[in-house]
A and B are shown apart, each in its own frame.
Chain A
Amino acid sequence: MGDLVIRAEGLSKRYRIGAHPRAYRTLRESVVEAAGAPLRWAGAAMRRQLRGAAGENEIWALRDVWFEVHQGEVLGLIGRNGAGKSTLLKILSKITEPSAGRVRVAGRVGSLLEVGTGFHPELTGRENIFLNGAILGMRREEILKRFDAIVDFSEVERFIDTPVKHFSSGMYLRLAFAVAAHLDPEILLVDEVLAVGDIRFQQKCLGKMETVGREGRTVLFVSHNMPAILRLCERAILLDEGHIVADGQAQPIVARYLNLDQTVQETIAEVEWPHPADAPGEEGVRLKALRLRSASGAPQAEFDVREPIEVEIQFWVLDEAPNVVPMFRVYNEHGVCVFAAAPTHDGLFAGRSRAAGTYTARCRIPGDFMAEGTYALEIAVRTLFPRRFFVPRVKLLNFRVHDRGMGDSVKGEYRGVWPGTVAPVFDWRSEFSPRVESAG
């Protein structure tokens, strides 16, 4: 016996779409056609429903997908909306059939495609636990055995005998997830159920899924929540327009996915507009230039981790303007804003208004501060209070920070990935004493 649990071979799924979505027809349309040629119509109608009529637009939600999953893997499925992730889970759950190819599965499959499936608003919490549990595939004895654990997890004990339509949305979600969390399948398929719910609920879900993964069950997890994927999954599959684009370690694939969302992958060190007429901005403020330079002043977009980064912002004020100030933000590969900076203490930007003219603001991001990675620089020109944008926030530059691994950065001799959103070097003061003794 090997340890394979899932093998997908050439899986494909096709859907009919059209300008007039013909998801269902009316009998009248069909009868009018049938009046012409009864037998031909009957055959065609059946074939049409089963295969999708020729000539109508079709999309392939999944196209020739091959992959294997081994027992105990926690696998993340990521991709843009419409990439085919949910379709893949639906096929694995046997809710919909593949159009071509096949999947071979060993083990009981439990699907969490939606939280609270089958919940009926008129029934009480207690009744819905049984109903939902049965729908998810639990036997009645199983539900009885776990009933107390489920109610406990959901924290709605006081309301367990009230009709669910009186629950708040938070209580509803907690109860629904509590039932699903106590499913015991060998293979668990989870589809973006964390997209709804407050922080506490999401943390609880993630925690439970971590437990499930640690118990050695196989989990396939679809999500748009990259931190959750990184937290739970060692392996990830990236889908794009129905194809598998990447399959391997989660970290690099997540990074690649996030780059897929940004259309720019090269670095850009500067942008400039020679004339105010074409430049971005409104109401008398126009952006003139945005540049990244090395400490020596040359335009540069690739920096060593030890190097300082010079940021230069130039903008025009065409007529007198209120107290606008340039502000930039730096975003990392995960879409996180690492920091924002503005010349709040600079004398030039202290006054109540700005005279017409060209403004240049420069600042220096110190070396030994930025972590390795690729960054986007977003610029805005605005008044801080009231909040009004004259050059609206726009990401214009990309730059990269490398660690050459010479041993002089914060990493020292370490060769791996240094964690953290920033990578500062602090002053450490350390002591040593040869004795081992208790205090006092």
Chain B
Amino acid sequence: MTNADSEFVGPVSEIAPSRGWVALKLRELWAYRELLYFLVWRDIKVRYKQTALGAAWAIIQPFFTMVVFSVFFGSLAKMPSDGIPYPIFAFAALVPWTFFANGLTQASNSLVGNSALIKKVYFPRLAIPIAGVLSNLVDFALAFVVLLLMMVYFKLWPTVAILWLPLLLLLAFVTALGVGLWFSALNVEFRDVRYVVPFLTQFWMFATPVAYPSSLLHEPWRTLYGLNPMAGVVEGFRWALLGNANAPGPLIWASATAALVILVSGAFYFRRMERTFADVV
């Protein structure tokens, strides 16, 4: 049996066991972008079907957290808030935070949740956690509108720094996806990861300057603190929208670097583990 490709009717692709680290195959992922769109669309459509409050849930979560924070941290504990009224100080952080936390949770559970698909159909598995994070953009948009309304209420006008917002959102996305890739791949083998995630998210929120300002820390601690990518996102959001007195500066660069490292390492780990997904999930 010769192995000449000319014996085949057309271009030949090969299916063989992969060893070690596997290429990310981003081009193939791009070819499947329509499927990614449909997965996101499905998640969004399904999330609020048959719920009484529908999309209002996207706003309720950050809003009521803000109310509780304002009462206990803002009024009673008298937390400093960089010269901004505490409620909006907290809300401007909660909006991107909620996007991140929900994106991370959904991405982490995405592989196990879509096990039927994984066992029966081929498509780049990276699409699944990506769809998990992306589907929260709609919720984010709704909460963002409420944030803008609050800014009007508090008579705070955005500076030109608002142009940074898309980049900061991207940073939050990259972080959620990066950690989500790690967790979703781990969750396939170790099912208790899904119980770690809520606890981790809670803890992470307090390690992020959501309820308090990062200016509580002095340099160089403040920059090191930026290794938590969400610190950069949250402070960046506040600065871009509300004209924070303390510009985050180097803190954001630390955040961006950390996020990229997590994303790239997560992607490679995911791709390496991918070959076992259909068998184990």
Contact = CB atoms under 8 A, between A and B. Distances in A.
Given A95-B122, A104-B14, A130 B38 contact: yes
Contacts of A134: 34-35, 37-38
B12 A105 contact: yes
13 contacts: A4-B7, A23-B280, A50-B275, A95-B119, A100-B17, A101-B16, A104-B12, A106-B13, A113-B121, A117-B121, A118-B116, A131-B42, A137-B35
Given A1-B10, A50-B276, A123 B45 contact: yes
A106 B17 contact: no
Contacts of B12: 104-106
A91 interface: yes
B120 A106 contact: no
Interface of B: 1, 6-18, 34-35, 37-38, 41-42, 45-46, 49-50, 116-123, 188-193, 196, 272-273, 275-276, 278-280
A24 B189 contact: yes
Interface string A411-438: 0000000000000000000000000000
Nearest to B193: A27
Interface in A88-108: 90-107
Interface in A293-352: none
Given A94-B15, A96-B278, A99-B17, A1 B9 contact: yes
Contact of A30 (B18, B41, B50, B190): B190
A36 interface: no
A71 interface: yes
A96 to B, nearest CB: 4
A114 B120 contact: yes
A123 B119 CA distance: 21
Contacts of B49: 122, 163
B11 A106 contact: yes
Contact of A24 (B18, B50, B188): B188
B204 to A, nearest CB: 18
Contacts of A156: none
A92 B16 CA distance: 10
A90 B278 contact: yes
A114 B6 CA distance: 34
Of B6, B34, B41, B280, most A-chain CB atoms within 10 Å: B34
Nearest to B7: A2
A259 B95 CA distance: 68
Contacts of A127: 45
A120 interface: yes
Most chain A CB within 10 A, of B10, B121, B275, B280, is at B121
Contact of B120 (A27, A91, A113): A113
Given A27-B196, A95-B119, A95-B278, A104 B189 contact: no
B190 A24 contact: yes
Contact of A122 (B46, B188, B193): B46
Contacts of B121: 93, 95, 111, 113, 117-118, 135-136
B9 A131 contact: no
A7 B1 CA distance: 10
A49 B193 CA distance: 16
Interface string A3-19: 11101010000010000
Most buried by A among B14, B17, B18, B273: B17
Contacts of A27: 190, 192-193, 196
Contacts of A109: 122
Contacts of A263: none
A207 B17 CA distance: 37
A191 to B, nearest CB: 9
Nearest to B36: A134
B15 A106 contact: no
A25 B17 contact: no
Contacts of B16: 97-98, 101-103
B120 A28 contact: no
Contact of B122 (A23, A93, A114, A139): A93
A26 B278 contact: no
B279 A15 contact: yes
A33 B181 CA distance: 24
Contacts of A25: 189-190
A196 to B, nearest CB: 15
A139 B278 CA distance: 24
A256 interface: no
